[in-house]
Every structure is written in structure tokens, then in C-alpha cells.
Amino acid sequence: MLRYRHVLTCAERTVRVLAAMSGGVDSAVAAARLRDAGHDVTGVHLALAAKPATMREGARGCCSVEDSRDARRCADVLDIPFYVWDLAARFREDVVEPFVAEYAAGRTPNPCLRCNEKIKFSAVLERARALGFDAVGTGHYARLDRGVLRRAADPDKDQSYVLGVLRPDQLAGALFPLGDSPKSEVRAEAAARGLVVAEKPDSHDICFIPSGDTRGFLADRIEAAPGEMVDPAGEVVGAHRGVQDFTVGQRHGLGLRRPAPDGRPRYVLGLEPVSRTVRVGPVEELDVTGLTGSAPVWLVDPPREEMDCVVQVRAHGGIAPATVRVVGDVVEVALAEPLRGVAPGQAAVFYRPDVDGDVVLGSATIAATSR
Amino acid sequence: MTYLDHAATTPMLPEAAATLTDALGRVGNASSLHTAGRRARRAIEESRETIAEAVGALPSEVVLATGGTEADNLAVKGLYWARRAADARRTRVVVSAAEHHAVLDAGEWLAEHEGAQLDVLPVDGHGRVDPEVLRAALAGHVDEVAVVSVMWANNEVGTVNDVRALAEVAHTFGVPFHTDAVQAVGAVPVDFAASGVDALSLTGHKLGGPVGAGALLLRRDAQCTPLLHGGGQERDVRSGTLDVPGTMSLATAVRAAVADVDRRTAMLTALRDDLVARVVAEVPDARLNGVPLDRPGERLPGNAHLSFPGCEGDSLLMLLDARGIECSTGSACTAGVARPSHVLLAMGLDEDLARGSLRFSLGHNSTPADVDAVVEAIGPVVERARRAGDALARS
């Protein structure tokens, strides 16, 4: 019924692979496995920060000079060539600036997903192909076999969501050698291989905001546009300095002047940048039963009729059975059970509705939600 | 392998390697008074005499150091501090825009932390410093300049400065003159006394000696404040236990390289000219940076520095590396991120052309086969690098 688009695959033949190496344990083991599989592997560290810090701070980020050195050290141990590609300008243009613009427009972007779409499997892949490589290999946790993208075996580490935006021609140049392994196995393998990053903490949050202070980062880049916080009755219950400080579903840090009449906590329900309004209300009003997605990408033939699937609306959690219908340029998604905290700007990734629910069918950017 | 990165480091000369390995088994601190110490001291002093003789200096003018970076820092900071101490008005540091970072950053550090004003002299389109430009800079700040540093030969484009004329200008204004001659010694004739400079940096590993052994030639009458304090070795200017094997090996290499300069110059010039002509024949829009080849003596004989319009230097480097050809895009950066070279920008190249540049540097064991390998690879490599540049622009 659901026919996958024909995609040539790199996995079962020996090819020239560019291994993107962040300096972390996952991409190092990925490079090692690709080399062991007989591929001709060259390591590349992507320098994405304009002014990289000399040392890594805590568990955040992957863009310091120290991370670059870690990647180089691993490549040396693996005895593969290693280079640093400076993609800071592209990253700023294609990831950081849209990230800021999306927040300013009252949406909640996912920059990792944008980086996969625009940097790793676009700028890097295209340059690699022109230089004679067949594929880009990364340490993402997802399974890719003959063009079929599936969730990783380790459900806690699954990253198929942030890869769900890739087109078939992009996936044709991708290799994810960690999809079958739990993280603990990858760490143990790194240690066994003598890779110094075996114990390195996982990176969290947003790599270009090493402080972890997204609000502060946005405040430096978006002019303050103060406005009101309004409850479902239309009553003004607080003030704010700009919609970029909020995400749909947010409960903490609302700074409301007075409690709700019923004493229950209030959540951000919606962001309206034009009127500078933040809508707040009780938790049940967060429930969403439908959403509209724009700019869909399909790994199967675009459905001509209604299609049953499982939709995921954020990187962790937010999964529900749904029915999808393509209407012109947009995708209309009817949820079989309500989802809470669905933020416009995030991706809706569609999975096949079978027992495992782990095959990616396509994705779209959430434009609007309905109750 | 085709190793064409001799300006980064060059293989040790067999006789220098033999000297080093023979000496590594010996014991003796050159400051000790017993027999082993005397033996070590004798080896050091004989090495010092050898080095001095080869480069036209007095033995007492050879301050042993770990290499170019230390010698440059000692000269720029030490001469600055000493001159300023003698005359508090002298707080300016004058360097050329094409200096190695060991000089440029030392000057910047003095500006940030020691109240200096850093004046950066422009270079011409070939990377040379015009002595009249230096004269104008000094004339604008009479009695204010503490030290001038202009390199003998540039590490990227191989341009040789008229150091003697520059030193003379500096002395007209009573300013001590330092030159970074790390690329020059063993590659072109260098005579410390005849050049008139007050201080000159040299290092072993650029001329067939070991890494970690070098020297600052410092005139007997030059005042220089030390960076390293301790046992008072090396005229109290550079404390630290002397490296006997490294110094002996350095001396062997300096003597051998300097004695071989004429033969090597002829050999390298022929190979280099052949390389440039044939690369340009393969890639007609490639352009040579630095002094034209018909002006020998103004360019290091082993240096070929070329720009390839429409290419990223790091793509070229990677593709050549994959074919076993090792060269450089310019001075390496700690993070490995390619930034356009400050030398090329100072020479007036635009950023894109500066990014699309390669340095091939030939050395004592280069052969016609090395040139053939580059000529065979360069056409397809440039074509592919151009496609990669286009792909990146399109994606």
C-alpha cells in the first residue's frame, strides 16, 4: 500500500564516505564502523561557530576548539584523513537567523532539524558529492535501509524525528551506522576502540547557545516588543517583553500578576506576535485535535487519499495516531486522540501506523493547530 | 608521498639526525663543573661557534632558544622592554603586516598589556616592505619607537626583504631592529654582521635540524630584557638548562645547509620554476603570488605560492592529500579552520582569491618526480574543487 520511493543506497556497497565528526562519542563510533565496513572514510569536523570558544563548557555545545581537537584525535586513532570545514557563515544564515526569526514570529523552531536539512545533508552533502564522495555518515540514532528511514533500536536515543525532514535524494547520500545500537553499547565500543571521547558527556540543548540561556540569546537579537497576557475570558492577567520568551505549553516563568480564579496553574496557549498577545489558560485548553502542516516532504508517494499514520509533533514525546490528508500545498492532520502543547514551528513527522510505528513516511512544519 | 611542505618543516639532514642520536646517550649539564659538565659545555660552545661562523655572527651573539616562536617573542618583547626602560618615551612597536604570528601577536600582546602602540607597516603587492615606508613611519614618531621587526623572508609567499636597508633606516632613528629569518637561514645567504640587524631569529627544523632547537642572534651591544628568569644561562637573557644534543644537531644542520646554499638554490629554483610554469599550463587562470620568478634573490628559491580562482584552498588541499601530495593553504590555524591569510590580504588579494591559494614549498630532498606528481594532479583537482565551490554556493 505505501510504496517507498526508489532510492539508491550506499549501505551495501563500498563507497567513499565523509564522516561528520562533532568531537562526540556517537560520531566517532559511527566513523569507526563505516571504516570497518570497508568504506573509504574521511573525517570532517564542521566549524559552525563564528568565534569558537577554546574549551567546551559543561555538557553543552559541540563547537569549541576542544571539540574539534577531540574529533581530530579520534580520526587519528582511526587512521583516517581529517579536515575542518568552516561552515559558520552558512550555519548562521540557514540555522541561527531563521531560529531567531521564527521565535520573533511567535513560533518554536527546532534548529537541529534545520541543520540536518540545510547543513549536514545539503551544504555538506553537496560539497562532498562534488569532491567525489558518495555519502555523508553521521552518528544519528536512526535506521536507514534501502531508503527506508526508521526509528533507532534504542527508543531513548531515537533521532528519526530530526531526520524526518530529509528528502529521498538527501537520504540517498546518508549513512547512519548507529541505528541498531543502544547508547551504552556505543560507549563501550568507543572505550574498546581506545577513543578518548568514550566518557564524554552527551551534548544537550542548542549547540550555538552554550550557556543554555535561550531567552537571553533571543533578547540580544530581537527588539523588545512588550504586550499583554490574556486569559480565555479576554481578561488581561499580565505583561511580557516579547512573544519570543514563550513556547506553547509553557507553564513556568509566565510572571503572572495574579492567580487564576480557580487557583489552577495556567499555561501558554498561543502566541500572537502582531497584536503582541500571549494567550494563557488552563491545561485542558492545550489539547489539540487537529493541525495543519506546511512544506511537506514525503518519503512515500504523496497520499492521494486519507492516510492513517502515527504523528510525532516534537523531538521527545508528543505521539498520537492520526489521519493525514494532503490539500494543495498543506497537510491536514486529524488526531485520533488529543495532544497537548503542540507548538507551531515544530515539525510533524508521520510514521507508518503498524505495530512498531517506526517507519518515517514524511513530515511537515506545523503551521496552525485546532481544538 | 610527495612532500611539498618544507616551509612548515623539512626532513632532518642525515648528518644532523646522526649527531642528535649519537648525542642523546650522553649525560652532562653544561653548567656543571665536573667532567661531564665540562664535556657538555665544550659541545655547546663548539656548536655555538659553528652556528656563529655559518651566519656571520660572533659566538657570544648566539643566544640559544627553542626555536622561532621563542626567539621572536624574546626579541620583540625583550628589545621593547629594554628600550622603553632606557627611554620612557619609546613605547611604539613597528612590525610589518606580513609578519608571522610569533611577531604580530607578540606586538599585539605588548599593545594590550604593556602600554605599547603597535604600528603595522603595509607591504606592497609582492609582500615587500619598502624602506621608505619604514622611514616615514619612524619620522612620524621620532624618539617614540622602541623596536622594529621586519622578517627576512616571508613564510607564505617567500618574499625576501631588503633587510640591510631596513635596518639602516631603523638605526638612523636610533631604534633596534629585529628580523625573523626562520625561512631565510639555509635558503638564501644570511650574514648577521653585514646585515646590520640587532637581532635575528633562526630555527633548526626549517633547515634540516631538529624541532625545539633554535637561536636568537643578538648583537653584543643590544639590550634585551629576558622572558625566562632562572639560572642565568645565555648572557642572562635566556635562562634554562641547555639542550646539548639539540644544539649539536642544530649546529650540524646550520653548517651543512649554509654550505650548500648555492647548489641548493640552483636546484630548487629550477624545480620551482618548472612547477609554476607547468601548473599554469594546466590551469591557465592560476596566478603566482609574491615576487615574479624573473627576480631571483627577492624570492625564496623553494617557494611556489599560487591562487586558483573559484576554488576553496581546503578543498584543493584535501584532494591533493588524497592523491598523496602534501602542501599547505598558508599558516595552519589551531582549530584547523581556514581563514584567509593575513599576508595575502595585506598584499591586496581579495578574500575569495586568498582562500583559494596553495603554497608548495620545496626543500633539500625534492625531486623532479615531485613536480611531475603535482602537474599530473593539479588539473583534475582544480576542476573538482571548482565544482565543490559551485555546489556549496548552489545548495
Q: What is the domain-level CATH number for residue A38? A: 3.40.50.620
Provide, as residue numbers in chain B, all residues whose Cβ is less than 8 Å from the Cβ of A86.
314, 337-339
- HEC string for chain A: CCCECCCCCCCCCCCEEEEECCCCHHHHHHHHHHHHCCCEEEEEEEECCCCCCCCCECCECCCCHHHHHHHHHHHHHHCCCEEEEECHHHHHHHHHHHHHHHHHCCCCCCHHHHHHHHHHHHHHHHHHHHCCCCEEECCCCEEEECCEEEECCCCCCCCHHHHCCCCHHHHCCEECCCCCCCHHHHHHHHHHCCCHHHHCCCCECCCCCCCCCHHHHHHCCCCCCCEEEECCCCCEEEEECCHHHCCCCCCCCCCCCCCCCCCCCCEEEEEECCCCEEEEECHHHHEEEEEEEEEEEECECCCCCCEEEEEECCCCCCEEEEEEEEECCEEEEEEEEEEECCCECEEEEEECCCCCCCEEEEEEEEEEEEC
Q: Name the pLDDT band for A255 (thresholds 50, 70, 90).
A: confident
Residues across chain B: 395
| pLDDT for A6 | 43
Q: What is the mean pLDDT of chain A?
A: 89
Provide, as residue numbers in chain A, all residues whose Cβ is less than 8 Å from the Cβ of B387.
130
Q: How many CB atoms lie within 10 A of CB A277?
A: 18
| Cell representation of residue B86 | 632606557
B395 contacts A42? CB cut-off 8 A: no
- pLDDT tens digits along A140-176: 999 998 889 999 999 999 999 999 999 999 999 999 9
The answer to the question of residue A9 being in a domain is no
Mutation site, B337, B341, B383, B390, interface A, largest A CB count within 10 A: B337
Please, are residues A288 and A340 in contact by the beta-carbon 8 Å criterion?
yes
Looking at the fold, whether A252 and A134 belong to one and the same domain comes out as: no
Which chain B residues have any C-beta within 8 angstroms of a chain A C-beta? 314-315, 317-319, 321-322, 334-339, 384-385, 387-392, 394-395
The answer to the question of residue A97 being in a domain is yes
| pLDDT for A39 | 95
pLDDT value at A321 more than 80: yes
Q: How many CB atoms lie within 10 A of CB B112?
A: 10
Looking at the fold, whether A314 and A275 belong to one and the same domain comes out as: no
3-state secondary structure at position B66: coil
The answer to the question of residue A6 being in a domain is no
Q: How many helices (H) and strands (E) does chain B have?
A: 13, 12
| pLDDT for B336 | 59
| Cell representation of residue B262 | 648555492
Looking at the fold, whether A49 and A145 belong to one and the same domain comes out as: yes
Chain B contact present for A95, CB below 8 A: no
Is A207 labeled as catalytic in the residue annotation? yes
Provide, as residue numbers in chain B, all residues whose Cβ is less than 8 Å from the Cβ of A81.
318, 321-322
- pLDDT tens digits along B19-75: 999 999 999 999 999 999 999 999 999 999 999 999 999 999 999 999 999 999 999
| pLDDT for A262 | 80
Is A115 labeled as catalytic in the residue annotation? yes
* Among the partner residues A42, A68, A131, nearest to B336 by beta-carbon distance: A68
Residue of A nearest to B340 (CA): A86
B335 contacts A52? CB cut-off 8 A: yes
- CA dist A179 and A144 (Å) reads 8
Looking at the fold, whether A188 and A64 belong to one and the same domain comes out as: yes
A126 contacts B337? CB cut-off 8 A: no
Residue of B nearest to A128 (CA): B388
Judged by CB atoms within 8 Å, which residues 106-135 of A form the interface with B?
122-123, 125-127, 129-132
Domain range summary for chain B, segments of one domain joined by +: 14-259, 261-394
Q: Name the pLDDT band for A4 (thresholds 50, 70, 90).
A: low
Chain B contact present for A22, CB below 8 A: no
Mutation site, A70, A131, A170, interface B, largest B CB count within 10 A: A131
Looking at the fold, whether A175 and A56 belong to one and the same domain comes out as: yes
| pLDDT for B340 | 86
* Among the partner residues B318, B334, B338, nearest to A131 by beta-carbon distance: B318
* Among the partner residues A72, A86, A127, nearest to B388 by beta-carbon distance: A127
Q: Report the domain count for chain A.
A: 3
Q: Is the Cα dihedral A221, A227, A229, A230 positive or negative?
A: negative
Provide, as residue numbers in chain A, all residues whose Cβ is less than 8 Å from the Cβ of B337.
47, 52, 68, 84, 86
Provide, as residue numbers in chain A, all residues whose Cβ is less than 8 Å from the Cβ of B318.
42, 81, 83, 131
Looking at the fold, whether A180 and A303 belong to one and the same domain comes out as: no
Q: Name the pLDDT band for A57 (thresholds 50, 70, 90).
A: low
- CA dist B343 and B284 (Å) reads 24
B335 contacts A68? CB cut-off 8 A: yes
Q: Name the pLDDT band for A10 (thresholds 50, 70, 90).
A: low
- CA dist A371 and B293 (Å) reads 77
| pLDDT for A9 | 53
B391 contacts A47? CB cut-off 8 A: no
- The DSSP string of B258-318 is HHTHHHHHHHHHHHHHHHHHHHHHHSTT-EE-SS-TTSTTSB-TTEEEEE-TT--HHHHHH
- CA dist B318 and A83 (Å) reads 8
pLDDT value at A7 more than 50: no
Chain B contact present for A68, CB below 8 A: yes
Looking at the fold, whether A250 and A343 belong to one and the same domain comes out as: no
- CA dist A23 and A115 (Å) reads 17
Domain-ending residue, one of A199, A232, A260: A199
> The domain B261-394: what is its CATH number?
3.90.1150.10
User: What distance in Å separates residue B385's CA from the closest CA in chain A?
Assistant: 7
B395 contacts A123? CB cut-off 8 A: yes
The amino acid at residue A67 is D
| pLDDT for A11 | 56
- CA dist B385 and B395 (Å) reads 15
Looking at the fold, whether A27 and A143 belong to one and the same domain comes out as: yes
pTM: 0.87
Looking at the fold, whether A257 and A162 belong to one and the same domain comes out as: no
Residue of A nearest to B355 (CA): A86
Residue given cell 638612523 in the structure block: B172
The answer to the question of residue A2 being in a domain is no
Looking at the fold, whether A66 and A189 belong to one and the same domain comes out as: yes
More confident residue, A62 or A227: A227
| pLDDT for B141 | 96
* Among the partner residues A52, A83, A130, nearest to B388 by beta-carbon distance: A130
* Among the partner residues B315, B337, B390, nearest to A47 by beta-carbon distance: B337
- CA dist B241 and B233 (Å) reads 7
Looking at the fold, whether A364 and A274 belong to one and the same domain comes out as: no
- CA dist A187 and A200 (Å) reads 9
B321 contacts A47? CB cut-off 8 A: no
Size of interface A-B (CB pairs under 8 A): 61
Please, are residues A104 and A220 in contact by the beta-carbon 8 Å criterion?
no
More confident residue, A57 or B146: B146
Reading chain B (395 residues) residue by residue, the pLDDT tens digits are 999 999 999 999 999 999 999 999 999 999 999 999 999 999 999 999 999 999 999 999 999 999 999 999 999 999 999 999 999 999 999 999 999 999 999 999 999 999 999 999 999 999 999 999 999 999 999 999 999 999 999 999 999 999 999 999 999 999 999 999 999 999 999 999 999 999 999 999 999 999 999 999 999 999 999 999 999 999 999 999 999 999 999 999 999 999 999 999 999 999 999 999 999 999 999 999 999 999 989 999 999 999 999 999 989 999 999 999 999 986 555 455 667 899 999 999 999 999 999 999 999 999 999 999 999 999 999 999 999 988 777 77
Main-chain dihedrals φ then ψ at residue B201, nearest 5 degrees: -95, 140
The answer to the question of residue A340 being in a domain is yes
* Among the partner residues A52, A68, A83, nearest to B318 by beta-carbon distance: A83
> Class of B14-259 per CATH?
alpha beta
| pLDDT for A211 | 82
- Strand pairing of B287-288 and B303-307? antiparallel
Domain residues for the domain of A253 are: 223-281
Residue of B nearest to A132 (CA): B384
Q: Name the pLDDT band for A65 (thresholds 50, 70, 90).
A: confident
Looking at the fold, whether A60 and A175 belong to one and the same domain comes out as: yes
